[in-house]
Structure 1
Amino acid sequence: MEIAKRTREILRENDLRLKKGLGQNFLVDTSILDQIVKVADLTEDETVIEIGPGIGALTEKLAQSAGKVIAVEIDQRLIPVLEDNLAAYDNVEIVEGDALEVDFDQLAGGDYKVVANLPYYITTPILRRLLEEGFNVTEIFVMVQKEVAERMVAQPGEKSYGVLSFGVQYYTQAEIEFKVPSSVFIPQPKVESAVISLKTLEKPRVEVIDEDFFFKVIRASFQQRRKMIKNSLSKAANINLSREVVEQALEEVGIDSRVRGEKLSLEEFAGLSNKLYRLKKEN
Protein backbone atom coordinates (compact mmCIF):
# COMPACT_ATOMS: atom_id res chain seq x y z
CA MET A 1 0.00 0.00 0.00
CA GLU A 2 1.23 3.47 -0.81
CA ILE A 3 2.80 4.87 2.37
CA ALA A 4 0.86 8.16 2.25
CA LYS A 5 -2.45 6.32 1.93
CA ARG A 6 -1.49 3.94 4.73
CA THR A 7 -0.51 6.84 6.98
CA ARG A 8 -3.85 8.57 6.43
CA GLU A 9 -5.73 5.34 7.14
CA ILE A 10 -3.83 4.75 10.38
CA LEU A 11 -4.53 8.29 11.54
CA ARG A 12 -8.21 7.97 10.64
CA GLU A 13 -8.65 4.49 12.18
CA ASN A 14 -7.09 5.66 15.44
CA ASP A 15 -8.89 9.01 15.37
CA LEU A 16 -5.56 10.81 15.61
CA ARG A 17 -5.26 14.52 14.95
CA LEU A 18 -1.70 15.65 14.54
CA LYS A 19 -0.56 18.13 17.15
CA LYS A 20 0.95 21.29 15.74
CA GLY A 21 2.53 21.97 19.12
CA LEU A 22 4.59 18.78 18.80
CA GLY A 23 5.69 19.62 15.27
CA GLN A 24 4.23 16.41 13.88
CA ASN A 25 4.94 16.09 10.15
CA PHE A 26 5.06 12.44 9.07
CA LEU A 27 7.39 11.43 6.25
CA VAL A 28 5.46 9.50 3.58
CA ASP A 29 7.97 8.91 0.79
CA THR A 30 9.62 5.48 0.66
CA SER A 31 12.61 6.68 -1.37
CA ILE A 32 13.42 9.36 1.21
CA LEU A 33 13.11 6.83 4.04
CA ASP A 34 15.47 4.51 2.17
CA GLN A 35 17.95 7.35 1.61
CA ILE A 36 18.03 8.15 5.32
CA VAL A 37 18.77 4.53 6.19
CA LYS A 38 21.43 4.37 3.47
CA VAL A 39 23.35 7.42 4.72
CA ALA A 40 23.11 6.12 8.31
CA ASP A 41 25.06 3.07 7.07
CA LEU A 42 23.72 0.72 9.73
CA THR A 43 24.96 -2.77 10.56
CA GLU A 44 23.35 -5.67 12.38
CA ASP A 45 25.46 -5.11 15.48
CA GLU A 46 24.58 -1.43 15.88
CA THR A 47 22.01 0.23 18.12
CA VAL A 48 19.96 3.16 16.85
CA ILE A 49 17.92 5.62 18.88
CA GLU A 50 15.14 7.24 16.92
CA ILE A 51 13.62 10.43 18.30
CA GLY A 52 9.97 11.05 17.42
CA PRO A 53 9.06 7.90 15.45
CA GLY A 54 5.48 9.04 14.80
CA ILE A 55 3.65 5.96 13.53
CA GLY A 56 6.84 4.05 12.72
CA ALA A 57 7.51 4.42 8.98
CA LEU A 58 11.21 5.18 9.47
CA THR A 59 11.41 2.88 12.50
CA GLU A 60 10.46 -0.09 10.35
CA LYS A 61 13.17 0.70 7.82
CA LEU A 62 15.74 1.10 10.60
CA ALA A 63 14.70 -2.21 12.16
CA GLN A 64 15.46 -3.97 8.88
CA SER A 65 19.09 -2.81 8.97
CA ALA A 66 20.14 -2.25 12.61
CA GLY A 67 20.63 -4.72 15.42
CA LYS A 68 18.38 -2.79 17.78
CA VAL A 69 16.15 0.25 17.43
CA ILE A 70 14.99 2.26 20.44
CA ALA A 71 12.16 4.60 19.45
CA VAL A 72 11.52 7.48 21.87
CA GLU A 73 8.06 9.02 21.46
CA ILE A 74 6.59 11.80 23.61
CA ASP A 75 2.99 11.50 22.36
CA GLN A 76 1.37 8.74 24.40
CA ARG A 77 -1.45 8.46 21.85
CA LEU A 78 1.04 7.03 19.35
CA ILE A 79 2.48 4.31 21.60
CA PRO A 80 -0.23 1.68 20.90
CA VAL A 81 -0.07 2.54 17.19
CA LEU A 82 3.68 2.00 17.17
CA GLU A 83 3.36 -1.24 19.10
CA ASP A 84 0.83 -2.52 16.58
CA ASN A 85 2.68 -1.37 13.47
CA LEU A 86 6.03 -2.74 14.66
CA ALA A 87 4.81 -5.96 16.28
CA ALA A 88 6.68 -8.06 13.70
CA TYR A 89 10.07 -6.69 14.79
CA ASP A 90 11.58 -8.13 17.96
CA ASN A 91 14.55 -5.76 17.75
CA VAL A 92 12.45 -2.63 18.34
CA GLU A 93 11.92 -1.10 21.78
CA ILE A 94 9.33 1.65 22.09
CA VAL A 95 9.88 4.14 24.89
CA GLU A 96 7.37 6.78 25.91
CA GLY A 97 9.37 9.80 26.98
CA ASP A 98 10.65 13.29 26.31
CA ALA A 99 13.89 13.30 24.30
CA LEU A 100 14.94 16.41 26.22
CA GLU A 101 14.91 14.41 29.44
CA VAL A 102 15.50 10.68 28.83
CA ASP A 103 18.92 9.14 29.47
CA PHE A 104 19.96 7.91 26.02
CA ASP A 105 23.05 6.12 27.33
CA GLN A 106 21.00 4.15 29.82
CA LEU A 107 18.54 3.14 27.10
CA ALA A 108 21.25 2.01 24.67
CA GLY A 109 23.73 0.45 27.10
CA GLY A 110 26.69 1.28 24.85
CA ASP A 111 27.60 3.26 21.73
CA TYR A 112 24.78 4.15 19.36
CA LYS A 113 23.68 6.27 16.45
CA VAL A 114 20.77 8.72 16.55
CA VAL A 115 18.38 8.97 13.60
CA ALA A 116 15.42 11.33 13.64
CA ASN A 117 12.95 13.38 11.67
CA LEU A 118 13.16 16.14 14.27
CA PRO A 119 10.27 18.49 15.01
CA TYR A 120 11.59 21.89 13.97
CA TYR A 121 10.80 23.55 17.30
CA ILE A 122 13.14 21.29 19.28
CA THR A 123 15.95 20.87 16.75
CA THR A 124 18.45 23.13 18.51
CA PRO A 125 17.78 22.01 22.12
CA ILE A 126 17.89 18.33 21.10
CA LEU A 127 21.19 18.74 19.27
CA ARG A 128 22.69 20.83 22.06
CA ARG A 129 21.77 18.12 24.53
CA LEU A 130 23.20 15.32 22.40
CA LEU A 131 26.46 17.15 21.78
CA GLU A 132 27.08 18.95 25.07
CA GLU A 133 26.11 16.35 27.66
CA GLY A 134 28.75 13.76 26.77
CA PHE A 135 26.46 10.99 25.53
CA ASN A 136 27.94 7.90 23.86
CA VAL A 137 26.45 8.80 20.49
CA THR A 138 28.85 8.22 17.59
CA GLU A 139 26.86 9.72 14.72
CA ILE A 140 23.66 11.71 14.32
CA PHE A 141 21.48 11.71 11.22
CA VAL A 142 18.60 14.15 11.44
CA MET A 143 16.00 15.73 9.21
CA VAL A 144 15.82 19.44 9.98
CA GLN A 145 14.64 22.64 8.35
CA LYS A 146 16.89 23.32 5.32
CA GLU A 147 17.93 26.74 6.59
CA VAL A 148 18.97 25.24 9.92
CA ALA A 149 21.08 22.60 8.16
CA GLU A 150 22.75 25.35 6.15
CA ARG A 151 23.59 27.22 9.35
CA MET A 152 25.18 24.09 10.81
CA VAL A 153 27.68 23.72 7.96
CA ALA A 154 28.21 27.44 7.19
CA GLN A 155 31.74 28.83 6.97
CA PRO A 156 33.18 32.26 7.92
CA GLY A 157 31.75 35.10 5.87
CA GLU A 158 28.67 33.20 4.71
CA LYS A 159 25.24 34.63 5.44
CA SER A 160 24.14 31.55 7.41
CA TYR A 161 27.25 31.55 9.62
CA GLY A 162 26.43 32.03 13.29
CA VAL A 163 26.37 30.62 16.80
CA LEU A 164 24.80 27.32 15.68
CA SER A 165 27.62 26.82 13.17
CA PHE A 166 30.18 26.98 15.98
CA GLY A 167 28.23 24.72 18.33
CA VAL A 168 27.90 21.99 15.73
CA GLN A 169 31.37 22.25 14.21
CA TYR A 170 33.10 22.36 17.61
CA TYR A 171 31.80 18.88 18.42
CA THR A 172 31.24 17.21 15.03
CA GLN A 173 32.05 16.83 11.36
CA ALA A 174 28.84 18.08 9.75
CA GLU A 175 27.63 17.44 6.22
CA ILE A 176 24.33 18.02 4.44
CA GLU A 177 23.48 14.65 2.86
CA PHE A 178 20.46 15.64 0.77
CA LYS A 179 17.58 18.09 0.64
CA VAL A 180 13.93 17.12 1.04
CA PRO A 181 10.88 18.88 -0.45
CA SER A 182 7.87 19.70 1.72
CA SER A 183 5.63 17.57 -0.51
CA VAL A 184 6.80 14.29 1.08
CA PHE A 185 5.23 15.05 4.47
CA ILE A 186 1.76 14.79 5.99
CA PRO A 187 0.84 17.53 6.70
CA GLN A 188 3.14 19.51 4.42
CA PRO A 189 5.35 22.01 6.28
CA LYS A 190 5.80 25.48 4.81
CA VAL A 191 9.55 25.04 4.45
CA GLU A 192 11.93 22.59 2.81
CA SER A 193 14.01 20.18 4.87
CA ALA A 194 17.42 18.54 4.69
CA VAL A 195 19.05 15.47 6.17
CA ILE A 196 22.34 16.29 7.86
CA SER A 197 24.96 13.93 9.27
CA LEU A 198 26.95 14.86 12.36
CA LYS A 199 29.91 12.59 13.13
CA THR A 200 31.00 13.24 16.69
CA LEU A 201 34.71 13.97 17.11
CA GLU A 202 36.85 12.11 19.65
CA LYS A 203 37.66 15.50 21.15
CA PRO A 204 36.43 19.01 20.31
CA ARG A 205 37.90 20.49 17.13
CA VAL A 206 39.78 23.23 19.03
CA GLU A 207 41.24 23.46 22.54
CA VAL A 208 39.73 26.06 24.84
CA ILE A 209 40.42 26.84 28.48
CA ASP A 210 36.77 27.26 29.41
CA GLU A 211 33.98 26.05 27.09
CA ASP A 212 31.31 28.16 28.72
CA PHE A 213 33.38 31.32 28.32
CA PHE A 214 34.29 30.35 24.72
CA PHE A 215 30.63 30.19 23.70
CA LYS A 216 29.82 33.39 25.62
CA VAL A 217 32.44 35.18 23.52
CA ILE A 218 30.93 33.76 20.33
CA ARG A 219 27.37 34.70 21.30
CA ALA A 220 28.47 38.22 22.23
CA SER A 221 30.19 38.59 18.86
CA PHE A 222 27.02 37.71 16.98
CA GLN A 223 24.45 39.62 19.01
CA GLN A 224 24.77 42.55 16.61
CA ARG A 225 26.30 41.18 13.43
CA ARG A 226 27.05 44.59 11.90
CA LYS A 227 29.26 45.71 14.79
CA MET A 228 33.04 45.49 14.80
CA ILE A 229 34.19 42.77 17.16
CA LYS A 230 35.93 45.20 19.53
CA ASN A 231 32.60 46.96 20.09
CA SER A 232 30.56 43.77 20.39
CA LEU A 233 32.84 42.28 23.02
CA SER A 234 33.53 45.41 25.05
CA LYS A 235 29.80 46.09 25.44
CA ALA A 236 28.78 42.48 26.16
CA ALA A 237 27.31 42.12 29.64
CA ASN A 238 27.75 38.33 29.61
CA ILE A 239 31.57 38.53 29.56
CA ASN A 240 32.12 41.86 31.36
CA LEU A 241 35.39 42.99 29.80
CA SER A 242 36.74 46.49 29.34
CA ARG A 243 37.44 47.91 25.90
CA GLU A 244 41.15 48.07 26.77
CA VAL A 245 41.28 44.35 27.61
CA VAL A 246 39.38 43.43 24.45
CA GLU A 247 41.69 45.52 22.25
CA GLN A 248 44.76 44.06 23.96
CA ALA A 249 43.55 40.50 23.39
CA LEU A 250 42.73 41.16 19.73
CA GLU A 251 46.15 42.68 19.15
CA GLU A 252 48.00 39.85 20.90
CA VAL A 253 46.26 37.12 18.86
CA GLY A 254 46.60 39.06 15.61
CA ILE A 255 42.93 39.81 14.87
CA ASP A 256 41.95 43.16 13.35
CA SER A 257 39.79 44.91 15.95
CA ARG A 258 37.56 46.29 13.17
CA VAL A 259 36.58 42.87 11.83
CA ARG A 260 33.09 41.48 12.41
CA GLY A 261 32.57 38.23 14.29
CA GLU A 262 31.07 36.56 11.22
CA LYS A 263 34.50 36.68 9.55
CA LEU A 264 36.32 34.71 12.24
CA SER A 265 36.94 30.97 12.15
CA LEU A 266 36.43 28.48 14.96
CA GLU A 267 40.20 28.42 15.50
CA GLU A 268 40.41 32.21 15.70
CA PHE A 269 37.59 32.35 18.25
CA ALA A 270 39.34 29.66 20.31
CA GLY A 271 42.57 31.68 20.40
CA LEU A 272 40.71 34.89 21.19
CA SER A 273 38.58 33.40 23.97
CA ASN A 274 41.63 31.79 25.57
CA LYS A 275 43.49 35.12 25.53
CA LEU A 276 40.46 36.99 26.91
CA TYR A 277 40.02 34.38 29.63
CA ARG A 278 43.64 34.76 30.77
CA LEU A 279 43.47 38.57 30.73
CA LYS A 280 40.18 38.48 32.63
CA LYS A 281 41.84 36.38 35.35
CA GLU A 282 44.76 38.81 35.56
CA ASN A 283 42.60 41.94 35.90
Structure 2
Amino acid sequence: MIGTSKKTFQILKKYNFNFKKSLGQNFLIDSNILNKIVNSASIDKDTGVIEIGSGIGSLTEVLAKSAKEVISFEIDGRLLPILADTLAAYDNVEIINKDILKVDVDKIIKEKFSTCSKIMLVANLPYYITTPILTHLLENTSLIDGYVVMMQKEVANRLNAKVGTKDYNSLTILLNYYTDVEYLFTVPKKVFVPAPNVESAVVKIMTKKEKDIYIADTEEFFNFVRNCFAQRRKTLMNNLIAISGKDKKESLLSACQSLGIEPSRRSETLTIFEFNKLHTDLKNREVIK
Protein backbone atom coordinates (compact mmCIF):
# COMPACT_ATOMS: atom_id res chain seq x y z
CA MET A 1 0.00 0.00 0.00
CA ILE A 2 1.33 3.42 -0.99
CA GLY A 3 -0.06 5.33 1.99
CA THR A 4 2.27 4.09 4.70
CA SER A 5 5.27 5.82 6.18
CA LYS A 6 7.74 3.23 4.90
CA LYS A 7 6.41 3.08 1.34
CA THR A 8 6.02 6.86 1.05
CA PHE A 9 9.62 7.52 2.05
CA GLN A 10 10.81 4.82 -0.36
CA ILE A 11 8.98 6.53 -3.24
CA LEU A 12 10.20 10.01 -2.27
CA LYS A 13 13.78 8.74 -2.13
CA LYS A 14 13.52 6.79 -5.40
CA TYR A 15 12.40 9.87 -7.31
CA ASN A 16 14.35 12.40 -5.24
CA PHE A 17 11.11 14.31 -4.78
CA ASN A 18 11.11 17.66 -2.96
CA PHE A 19 7.90 19.15 -1.63
CA LYS A 20 6.67 22.50 -2.93
CA LYS A 21 5.30 24.52 -0.07
CA SER A 22 3.54 26.81 -2.56
CA LEU A 23 1.34 23.88 -3.63
CA GLY A 24 0.39 22.89 -0.09
CA GLN A 25 1.76 19.37 -0.48
CA ASN A 26 1.23 17.20 2.61
CA PHE A 27 1.02 13.46 1.90
CA LEU A 28 -1.00 11.11 4.11
CA ILE A 29 1.02 8.21 5.58
CA ASP A 30 -1.66 6.46 7.61
CA SER A 31 -3.58 3.61 5.95
CA ASN A 32 -6.30 3.65 8.61
CA ILE A 33 -7.11 7.30 7.90
CA LEU A 34 -7.09 6.68 4.14
CA ASN A 35 -9.52 3.77 4.49
CA LYS A 36 -11.71 5.77 6.85
CA ILE A 37 -11.97 8.61 4.32
CA VAL A 38 -12.96 6.28 1.48
CA ASN A 39 -15.43 4.32 3.64
CA SER A 40 -17.08 7.60 4.66
CA ALA A 41 -17.85 8.31 1.00
CA SER A 42 -19.84 5.05 0.58
CA ILE A 43 -18.10 4.30 -2.72
CA ASP A 44 -19.02 1.20 -4.71
CA LYS A 45 -18.46 -0.23 -8.19
CA ASP A 46 -21.10 2.08 -9.66
CA THR A 47 -19.38 5.22 -8.34
CA GLY A 48 -17.25 7.65 -10.32
CA VAL A 49 -14.77 9.55 -8.14
CA ILE A 50 -13.02 12.86 -8.67
CA GLU A 51 -9.88 13.51 -6.65
CA ILE A 52 -8.01 16.80 -6.37
CA GLY A 53 -4.30 16.52 -5.63
CA SER A 54 -3.09 13.00 -6.42
CA GLY A 55 0.24 13.39 -4.66
CA ILE A 56 2.06 10.06 -5.04
CA GLY A 57 -1.25 8.21 -5.25
CA SER A 58 -1.90 7.24 -1.61
CA LEU A 59 -5.60 8.13 -1.56
CA THR A 60 -5.99 7.47 -5.29
CA GLU A 61 -5.01 3.84 -4.78
CA VAL A 62 -7.61 3.22 -2.07
CA LEU A 63 -10.25 4.95 -4.20
CA ALA A 64 -9.34 2.82 -7.23
CA LYS A 65 -9.92 -0.37 -5.25
CA SER A 66 -13.50 0.66 -4.41
CA ALA A 67 -14.73 2.84 -7.30
CA LYS A 68 -15.68 2.15 -10.90
CA GLU A 69 -13.65 5.05 -12.28
CA VAL A 70 -11.30 7.62 -10.71
CA ILE A 71 -10.31 10.91 -12.32
CA SER A 72 -7.59 12.63 -10.33
CA PHE A 73 -6.40 16.19 -10.96
CA GLU A 74 -2.75 16.85 -10.19
CA ILE A 75 -1.29 20.27 -10.97
CA ASP A 76 2.35 19.33 -10.24
CA GLY A 77 3.81 17.81 -13.42
CA ARG A 78 6.77 16.39 -11.46
CA LEU A 79 4.39 13.84 -9.94
CA LEU A 80 3.17 12.38 -13.24
CA PRO A 81 5.98 9.83 -13.73
CA ILE A 82 5.69 8.83 -10.06
CA LEU A 83 1.95 8.25 -10.42
CA ALA A 84 2.48 6.29 -13.64
CA ASP A 85 4.63 3.94 -11.54
CA THR A 86 2.66 3.77 -8.27
CA LEU A 87 -0.75 3.37 -9.94
CA ALA A 88 0.34 1.13 -12.84
CA ALA A 89 -1.83 -1.73 -11.58
CA TYR A 90 -5.07 0.25 -11.76
CA ASP A 91 -6.67 0.63 -15.18
CA ASN A 92 -9.64 2.56 -13.77
CA VAL A 93 -7.55 5.63 -12.88
CA GLU A 94 -6.83 8.64 -15.06
CA ILE A 95 -4.55 11.46 -13.95
CA ILE A 96 -5.24 14.88 -15.44
CA ASN A 97 -2.45 17.45 -15.18
CA LYS A 98 -4.71 20.50 -14.90
CA ASP A 99 -5.91 23.03 -12.34
CA ILE A 100 -9.39 22.03 -11.14
CA LEU A 101 -10.36 25.71 -11.12
CA LYS A 102 -9.76 25.94 -14.87
CA VAL A 103 -11.64 22.91 -16.16
CA ASP A 104 -15.27 22.25 -17.05
CA VAL A 105 -15.97 19.58 -14.45
CA ASP A 106 -19.50 18.84 -15.69
CA LYS A 107 -18.11 18.16 -19.17
CA ILE A 108 -15.51 15.76 -17.79
CA ILE A 109 -18.14 13.96 -15.69
CA LYS A 110 -20.38 13.47 -18.74
CA GLU A 111 -17.44 12.18 -20.81
CA LYS A 112 -15.73 9.98 -18.24
CA PHE A 113 -18.50 8.83 -15.90
CA SER A 114 -21.36 8.12 -18.30
CA THR A 115 -21.86 4.62 -16.87
CA CYS A 116 -21.62 5.66 -13.20
CA SER A 117 -24.78 6.04 -11.12
CA LYS A 118 -23.15 8.21 -8.44
CA ILE A 119 -20.42 10.86 -8.54
CA MET A 120 -18.36 11.67 -5.44
CA LEU A 121 -15.44 14.02 -4.94
CA VAL A 122 -12.93 12.68 -2.43
CA ALA A 123 -9.74 14.59 -1.72
CA ASN A 124 -7.10 15.82 0.65
CA LEU A 125 -7.54 19.42 -0.49
CA PRO A 126 -4.59 21.82 -0.64
CA TYR A 127 -5.26 23.98 2.42
CA TYR A 128 -4.26 27.28 0.82
CA ILE A 129 -7.00 26.96 -1.79
CA THR A 130 -9.75 24.95 -0.07
CA THR A 131 -12.34 27.75 -0.03
CA PRO A 132 -11.88 28.76 -3.70
CA ILE A 133 -12.17 25.10 -4.76
CA LEU A 134 -15.37 24.43 -2.82
CA THR A 135 -16.90 27.73 -3.90
CA HIS A 136 -16.03 27.13 -7.55
CA LEU A 137 -17.42 23.60 -7.62
CA LEU A 138 -20.63 24.35 -5.77
CA GLU A 139 -21.39 27.36 -7.94
CA ASN A 140 -20.39 25.80 -11.27
CA THR A 141 -20.94 22.05 -11.06
CA SER A 142 -24.33 20.38 -10.88
CA LEU A 143 -23.45 16.70 -11.25
CA ILE A 144 -21.48 15.90 -8.08
CA ASP A 145 -23.61 14.04 -5.51
CA GLY A 146 -21.30 14.65 -2.59
CA TYR A 147 -17.86 15.44 -1.26
CA VAL A 148 -15.69 13.84 1.41
CA VAL A 149 -12.75 16.15 1.85
CA MET A 150 -9.85 16.78 4.18
CA MET A 151 -9.14 20.39 5.03
CA GLN A 152 -7.75 22.65 7.72
CA LYS A 153 -9.77 22.11 10.90
CA GLU A 154 -10.39 25.84 11.23
CA VAL A 155 -12.08 25.90 7.81
CA ALA A 156 -14.06 22.74 8.57
CA ASN A 157 -15.51 24.42 11.65
CA ARG A 158 -16.86 27.23 9.47
CA LEU A 159 -18.74 24.99 7.08
CA ASN A 160 -21.63 24.16 9.40
CA ALA A 161 -21.18 26.85 12.04
CA LYS A 162 -24.27 28.16 13.82
CA VAL A 163 -25.65 31.63 13.19
CA GLY A 164 -24.17 34.15 15.60
CA THR A 165 -20.92 32.27 16.26
CA LYS A 166 -17.44 33.48 15.34
CA ASP A 167 -17.04 30.70 12.76
CA TYR A 168 -20.22 31.62 10.85
CA ASN A 169 -19.41 33.45 7.62
CA SER A 170 -20.22 33.69 3.91
CA LEU A 171 -18.75 30.22 3.26
CA THR A 172 -21.13 28.75 5.86
CA ILE A 173 -24.08 30.33 4.08
CA LEU A 174 -22.91 29.12 0.67
CA LEU A 175 -22.45 25.54 1.91
CA ASN A 176 -25.75 25.47 3.75
CA TYR A 177 -27.59 26.67 0.64
CA TYR A 178 -26.21 23.97 -1.64
CA THR A 179 -25.46 21.11 0.77
CA ASP A 180 -25.82 19.30 4.07
CA VAL A 181 -22.53 19.33 5.97
CA GLU A 182 -21.28 16.76 8.48
CA TYR A 183 -18.02 17.09 10.42
CA LEU A 184 -16.65 13.52 10.47
CA PHE A 185 -13.37 13.41 12.37
CA THR A 186 -10.21 15.30 13.28
CA VAL A 187 -6.87 14.25 11.81
CA PRO A 188 -3.61 14.82 13.73
CA LYS A 189 -0.55 16.45 12.20
CA LYS A 190 1.62 13.34 12.67
CA VAL A 191 -0.10 11.34 9.89
CA PHE A 192 1.29 13.61 7.17
CA VAL A 193 4.65 14.14 5.57
CA PRO A 194 5.67 16.88 5.89
CA ALA A 195 3.57 17.57 8.97
CA PRO A 196 1.36 20.65 8.48
CA ASN A 197 1.34 23.49 11.01
CA VAL A 198 -2.36 23.01 11.72
CA GLU A 199 -4.80 20.28 12.66
CA SER A 200 -6.91 18.79 9.90
CA ALA A 201 -10.46 17.48 9.64
CA VAL A 202 -12.52 15.36 7.27
CA VAL A 203 -15.94 16.68 6.31
CA LYS A 204 -18.79 15.07 4.38
CA ILE A 205 -20.76 17.45 2.17
CA MET A 206 -23.84 16.06 0.40
CA THR A 207 -25.57 18.07 -2.32
CA LYS A 208 -29.17 18.97 -1.53
CA LYS A 209 -31.74 17.64 -3.97
CA GLU A 210 -34.09 20.45 -3.01
CA LYS A 211 -33.06 23.87 -1.71
CA ASP A 212 -34.52 25.29 1.50
CA ILE A 213 -34.91 28.71 -0.11
CA TYR A 214 -35.32 30.17 -3.60
CA ILE A 215 -32.56 32.55 -4.70
CA ALA A 216 -33.05 34.10 -8.13
CA ASP A 217 -29.42 34.94 -8.96
CA THR A 218 -27.01 32.92 -6.81
CA GLU A 219 -23.82 34.54 -8.13
CA GLU A 220 -25.13 38.02 -7.42
CA PHE A 221 -26.52 36.99 -4.03
CA PHE A 222 -23.38 35.32 -2.74
CA ASN A 223 -21.22 38.23 -3.90
CA PHE A 224 -23.52 40.45 -1.81
CA VAL A 225 -23.18 38.14 1.21
CA ARG A 226 -19.38 38.04 0.89
CA ASN A 227 -19.31 41.85 0.81
CA CYS A 228 -21.47 41.96 3.94
CA PHE A 229 -18.77 39.93 5.71
CA ALA A 230 -15.88 41.98 4.29
CA GLN A 231 -15.38 43.85 7.57
CA ARG A 232 -16.45 41.38 10.24
CA ARG A 233 -15.86 43.72 13.17
CA LYS A 234 -18.13 46.38 11.74
CA THR A 235 -21.91 46.49 11.80
CA LEU A 236 -24.13 45.33 8.97
CA MET A 237 -24.90 48.96 8.17
CA ASN A 238 -21.23 49.88 7.83
CA ASN A 239 -20.72 46.98 5.44
CA LEU A 240 -23.79 47.97 3.43
CA ILE A 241 -22.51 51.55 3.17
CA ALA A 242 -19.18 50.19 1.94
CA ILE A 243 -21.12 48.32 -0.77
CA SER A 244 -23.52 51.07 -1.80
CA GLY A 245 -21.88 54.36 -0.78
CA LYS A 246 -22.63 56.90 1.93
CA ASP A 247 -25.21 58.66 -0.23
CA LYS A 248 -27.46 55.58 0.05
CA LYS A 249 -27.46 55.48 3.86
CA GLU A 250 -31.08 56.60 4.27
CA SER A 251 -32.31 54.04 1.75
CA LEU A 252 -30.29 51.34 3.49
CA LEU A 253 -31.76 52.27 6.87
CA SER A 254 -35.26 52.27 5.42
CA ALA A 255 -34.76 48.82 3.90
CA CYS A 256 -33.47 47.35 7.17
CA GLN A 257 -36.32 48.90 9.16
CA SER A 258 -38.97 47.64 6.73
CA LEU A 259 -37.64 44.10 7.15
CA GLY A 260 -37.23 44.31 10.91
CA ILE A 261 -33.44 43.98 10.68
CA GLU A 262 -31.60 46.12 13.20
CA PRO A 263 -28.84 48.01 11.28
CA SER A 264 -26.48 47.73 14.25
CA ARG A 265 -26.41 43.94 14.04
CA ARG A 266 -23.32 42.20 12.73
CA SER A 267 -23.47 40.09 9.59
CA GLU A 268 -22.82 36.83 11.44
CA THR A 269 -26.20 37.20 13.17
CA LEU A 270 -28.20 37.12 9.92
CA THR A 271 -29.68 33.93 8.51
CA ILE A 272 -29.67 33.15 4.79
CA PHE A 273 -33.38 34.01 4.75
CA GLU A 274 -32.68 37.50 6.17
CA PHE A 275 -29.84 38.06 3.70
CA ASN A 276 -32.09 37.02 0.84
CA LYS A 277 -34.89 39.38 1.91
CA LEU A 278 -32.41 42.22 2.35
CA HIS A 279 -30.72 41.61 -0.98
CA THR A 280 -34.07 41.43 -2.80
CA ASP A 281 -35.34 44.63 -1.13
CA LEU A 282 -32.17 46.57 -1.91
CA LYS A 283 -32.32 45.41 -5.52
CA ASN A 284 -35.94 46.51 -5.82
CA ARG A 285 -35.06 49.91 -4.37
CA GLU A 286 -32.12 50.09 -6.82
CA VAL A 287 -29.79 50.74 -3.89
CA ILE A 288 -27.49 48.00 -5.16
CA LYS A 289 -27.00 46.70 -8.68
TM-score (norm: length of structure 1) = 0.93
Instruction: Work out the CA distance in 2 between the residues paired with 1:197 and 1:41.
Output: 11
1:125-274 to 2 correspondence within 5 Å?
Answer: 125-237=132-244, 242-274=248-280
Mapped to 2, the partners of 1:162 and 1:202 lie a distance apart of: 23
Instruction: State the distance in 2 between where 1:83 and 1:130 align.
Output: 27
Q: 1:282 & 1:166 partners in 2: Cα distance? A: 20
Q: Which residue of 1 aligns with 2:26?
A: 25
Residue by residue over 1:11-69, the C-alpha shift from the partner in whole angstroms, topping out at 9 and shown as x without a partner, is 11011111111111000111110110111011111100111111111111111111111
- Partner in structure 2 of residue 95 of structure 1: 96
Give the AA of the match of 1:224: Q
Q: Which residue of 2 aligns with 1:104?
A: 105
Separation of aligned partners in 1, 2:247 and 2:33: 49
Larger deviation, residues 157-166 vs 207-216: 207-216
CA displacement, residues 150-189 of structure 1 (integer Å, 9 cap, x when unaligned): 1111121111111221222221111211111111000000
Match of 2:79 in 1: 78
**Once the two structures are superposed, what CA deviation does each residue of 1:86-114 show, in whole Å capped at 9, x if it has no partner?**
11112111222211212322333245211
Report which stretch shifted further, 25-34 or 88-97: 88-97
Question: Following the alignment from structure 1 to structure 2, what is the Cα–Cα distance between the partners of residues 252 and 206?
Answer: 21
User: Residues 208 and 273 of structure 1 are in contact (CA less than 8 Å); yes or no, is this contact kept in structure 2?
Assistant: no
For residues 233 and 129 of structure 2, the distance between their equivalents in structure 1, rounded to whole angstroms, comes to 28
CA distance in 2, matches of 1:210, 1:277: 11
The amino acid that maps onto 1:267 is: F
* Corresponding residue SS for 1:64: helix
Question: Is the 2:106–2:141 contact (alpha carbons within 8 Å) kept by the matching residues of 1?
Answer: no
Report the Cα distance in structure 1 between the residues aligned to 2:212 and 2:148, rounded to whole angstroms: 20
215-224 or 129-138: bigger deviation: 215-224
Structure 2 equivalent of residue 45 of structure 1: 46
Partner of 1:18, secondary structure, is: coil
SS in structure 1 of the partner of residue 78 of structure 2: helix
Q: How many residues align?
A: 282
Kindly indicate whether the alpha-carbon contact (under 8 Å) linking 2:177 and 2:212 is maintained by their aligned counterparts in 1.
yes
The 3-state SS of whatever aligns with 1:137 is coil
- Stretch deviating more after TM superposition (161-170 or 98-107): 98-107
Structure 2 counterpart of 1:191, one-letter code: V
2: CA distance between counterparts of 1:266 and 1:136? 24
Q: Deviations over 1:215-260 (max 9, x none)?
A: 23322322222333223212325x8871122112112222122211
Bigger mean CA deviation after superposition, 210-219 or 181-190: 210-219
| Residue in structure 1 matched with residue 282 of structure 2 by the alignment | 276
Identical-residue share of aligned pairs (%): 45
The AA in structure 1 aligned to 2:281 is K
Relative distance call for 1:126 and 1:235 in structure 2 (3 A) is: closer
* 1:282/1:136 CA distance change after superposition, 3 Å: closer
Question: Alpha-carbon deviation of 1:273?
Answer: 0.9
Query: For 2:217 and 2:109, how far apart are their aligned partners in 1?
Result: 30
**Does the 8 Å CA contact 1:114/1:141 hold for their aligned counterparts?**
yes
Mapped to 1, the partners of 2:161 and 2:65 lie a distance apart of 34
What whole-Å deviation, never above 9, does each CA across 1:109-136 have from its counterpart, x for those lacking one? 2452111101111111111111111341
* SS state at 2:66 partner: coil
Matched to 1:277, the amino acid is: K
Residue type of the partner of 1:162?
A: N
**Pair 1:157–1:254, CA change in 2 (3 A):** same
Contiguous gaps of at least 5 residues in structure 1: none
